[in-house]
Structure 1
Amino acid sequence: MKIVIVQHKNFLNSTGGTEKIACFLANNLVEKDCEVILATNDENVSGKPMFYLNPKVTLNNLFNPKFIQEEIITLFNYKGNNPFFWLYYKLKKKRDKIHNKLLVKKYGGVEGIYTHNLKERVTLWQTYLSDVKPNVIITMSISSLVEITFGKKLQFPILNSVNGRPDYDYTDVLWYRSKIEMKLLEEAYVHLSGIQVLFDSYKAFLPTTFIGEAVTIPNPVIQMDTNALVHHDIAKKTYKIINIASLNNSCKQQDVAIQIFSKIATSYPNWILEFWGVGNDLQILQEQVAELQLENRIFFKGFTSEPLEKLKEAEIFLFPSKYEGFPLALTEAMAVGLPVIGFQSCSGVNELIQNEQNGFLANDITDMQHKLEQLIQNSELRKKMGIMAHESVKKYSEEAVFQKWFHFITQINKKQN
């Protein structure tokens, strides 16, 4: 069985959950004697996968600079106090406004830019897939699906992997999308033979255009032996609150974690807050910490290839995300025996955390602060919740999750033959 896994862009040099799952599927499928191709269209041609990829997996980057992509530049308002940065970003914003205005005029509006870019990518993908002739295509996002089906339906069964709540993929509930983009995204579901969602509750958020088979398959979680869990009863000079995620305030809300910690830092002088991850908001977050004069208590550690080892050095996992799908960092924290704190309103997080059992679900920022202090003050509570967190993610073992995926893929392939 020949399988093409499509991560249409940003696969190379990316440390996100989507890329991790793409590699997980590819690595396990080749061990089932499948021919697996992981295909992307990534302008970072010198980049490489950031997660292990079995040498038996073929990696194809379709990027071709002749297929021109035009981009509206997101305008940025500098919020810090540095006068040099203020002047730089003010001039940059003026330049970007001129660029955007000219681009919109050239293509007759934002929708015209989107359509131009899409047609360029569609030609590339459909030519490639027609030559490869896979038995099954797995798209790692709905945008990938649009790119391989727009204007011409390929005669191959397609499965889509949904990395968040499904309506995040085809609506503007989280960020701006033009009307034509939302229309095309929603129509793309018609071409699906099947779709994978992360939780049963997410099926309610599929569009009416979807008529295929929906199957619930969670993300895999690395399992830990009981004797390798965090030891909450060991006295330390310094205790860590940890967050592992891309540095992105609009989603991961590290600024909220800093705000909360700043209110309690004086009361708990032997506790620190540690961030692991990279992202566009690093400078903004560093400036926030500097303004609070907490550089010796809050640390940005960068990317780690060993998240489990970093998690085992901590006492509490603080995760104030606004929205999630099935957060891998959260489940890894639970696997090593850390008590976890998230927001009740956050999708995915509110599926994994059982309030006051394996962690806390907070109603707002003030409530999150109070719950964090409860854990700081009580090592027995940390230990109890950590053990329950470890137990609650056992059902998400890599073997169990892959078996569900393999069954789904083979069943779809059989129906098409």
Structure 2
Amino acid sequence: MHTLVLLYMGDETVTASAGTERVLTNMANAFVERGYRTIVVTNDPPTAKPYFPFLPQVELIFLDVWHVKMPVVVKIKREINRVIPIMDRPVESYRAHLSVVKLRERLSDCQIDCIIAYNHEAIQVADLWQKGRVPLIAMMHNSIRVIMGDSNHATLKEKEKANLIQVLMPSYVQEAKQYIHNTPIIYIPNTVTPIPAERRANLGKKKENYTITTVGRIDGLQKQTHILIHSFAKIVTRYPRWKIEIWGEIKKKSYYNELCNYIHEHGLDQNVFFCGTTREIQKKISQADIFAFPSAFEGFPLALTEAMATGLPSVGFRSADAVKDLIIDGRNGILCEDGAPAFAKGLERLMKDQDLRVKLGRQAVEDIKPYAPQIVWDKWQDVVEQQIQSFSHKKGK
């Protein structure tokens, strides 16, 4: 039995309900089901309760270094690095050293066969911990320009210590090669579970009221929740039977309050609703008629792909990383130019044409099938086994 370690470090936490946490849980469970000993290591405190359920066979190690107090010298290095970026993220580096000390204590007698790093601090931990003795696969969970665009030379060199880098969209391979020159880069997408026909959206049904839904944290920078609300405000008087349901965590209270004020000032209190989070999001999506996704960028948007698997036509931006690859304009959804006016036109195009919604939604189901879990986990298992065998041959020599 091979032992696989998934390192999920940095500021992330398994208690969150976001996409990366979901990928982590799904991957750990999938490898356990395929016969691997799977160990998940995070920065969380010992009392952490994962939002998404791990199988009992998954071994969880919470190192409790997330909120560790930074020494003055580390803070000074951080401030220097902001002005003269020559170091590799001093705060993460410090936490990585603490993590390695604890890992060596917890797994001193464990033979590790492969490590998968979920973020940059995880790469630092793996490098310090195993020093190249074990194959390291680094995952890139966002668009390449977001992950690598602001990275300095030291940070990029640290990423190159991985034996293999995985990206989420085919277009990201060449993009990543602009930053990473000495490490192979492969494309493996996230998984999208097929939705049975009886659980998909019934877009042909005549209704008293219709729903536009979106899923994602309430955020002004990436998710751009305000654009959806502003767009809807431009057309709502022509479509009084339509409403918006916004599902997601509130990350910034001031931004949320701004949105609430805008909704009230524009008389949208009976049309726009913040619904919070739910563990039955697919059920909620299936009751909608349009999926709105005004993100500025994504890595591989699970919310969008789940909506497509449920049979909803989507509206997104032509400029948004990943979104522009998944939504094919006029085939399974609508792509718009940037801004609320264009997004409003995209919404209206679907709101006024039920037949178009049905047609695009039906095609969305077909277009998402290549991301089925069996297909994706087969690819991952092949990659992991290739890396293990490659290192075994090197040791034999």
> Taking structure 2 as the reference length, what is the TM-score of the superposition?
0.88
Deviation at residue 353 of structure 1 after TM alignment: 0.7
Question: 2:18 is matched with which residue?
Answer: 16
Query: Do the aligned residues in 2 keep the contact of 1:153 with 1:191 (CA within 8 Å)?
Result: no
Which deviations, in whole Å up to 9, do the C-alpha atoms of 1:283-305 show, x marking residues without a partner? 33223322323121100000111
Partner of 2:241: 270
Match in the other structure for 2:53 = 52
Amino acid in the other structure paired with 1:277: G
Provide Cα deviations, 1:206-243, integer angstroms capped at 9, x if missing partner: 25544233221111001012343211221212110000
Other-structure match for 1:3: 4
Q: Any unmatched runs of 5+ in structure 2?
A: 83-87, 393-397
Code of the residue aligned with 1:110 in structure 2: it is E
User: Contact conserved, 2:200 with 2:311, CA < 8 A, in 1?
Assistant: yes
* Equivalent residue number for residue 238 of structure 1: 209
Candidates 185, 189, 196, aligned match of 2:159: 189
How far did residue 199 of structure 1 move? 1.6
Counterpart of 2:39?
Answer: 37
Tell whether 2:378 aligns with 1:403: yes
SS at match of 2:237: coil
Do the aligned partners of residues 381 and 187 (structure 1) sit closer, same or farther apart at CA in structure 2, a change above 3 Å counting? same
User: Whole-Å Cα distance in 2 between the matches of residues 388 and 229 of structure 1?
Assistant: 13
Which segment is superposed worse, 277-286 or 4-13? Answer: 277-286
Report if aligned partners of 1:165, 1:205 keep a CA contact under 8 Å in 2. no
CA distance in 2, matches of 1:35, 1:190: 27
Return closer, same or farther for 1:26/1:268 CA change in 2, 3 Å cut-off.
same
| Cα distance in 2, alignment partners of residues 263 and 104 from structure 1 | 53
- Residue 85 of structure 2 corresponds to none
Distance 1:287 1:66, change over 3 A: closer
Within the alignment, does 1:160 sit opposite 2:138 as a pair? Answer: yes
Shift in Å, 1:204: 1.4
Superposition pairs for residues 15-414 of structure 1, below 5 Å?
15-43=17-45, 45-64=46-65, 67-69=68-70, 107=76, 110-111=79-80, 116-130=90-104, 131=108, 132-149=110-127, 153-172=131-150, 182-207=152-177, 208-281=179-252, 282-365=256-339, 366-414=341-389
- CA–CA distance in structure 2, aligned partners of residues 306 and 269 of structure 1: 27
Aligned-CA RMSD value: 2.3
Q: Tell me the SS of whatever aligns to 1:373.
A: helix
Shift of 1:183: 3.0
CA distance in 2, matches of 1:65, 1:319: 31
**Is the Cα contact below 8 Å between 1:146 and 1:185 reproduced in 2?**
no
Contact 2:212 2:289 in 1 (8 A): yes
CA distance in 2, matches of 1:400, 1:342: 26
Equivalent residue letter for 1:11: T
2:291 is paired with a residue of what secondary structure?
A: strand
Q: Is the 8 A contact 2:167 2:173 kept in 1?
A: yes
Contact 1:125 / 1:148 at 8 angstroms: preserved in 2? no
In structure 2, relative to structure 1, the CA distance for the partners of 1:191 and 1:39 (3 Å cut) is same
The CA deviation string for residues 164-204 of structure 1, in whole angstroms up to 9 with x for no partner, is 222321222xxxxxxxx633321112211111111221011
Q: Which 4+ residue blocks in structure 1 deviate beyond 6 angstroms?
A: 103-106
The two structures have a TM-score, normalised by structure 1, of 0.84
How far off its partner does 1:396 sit? 0.7
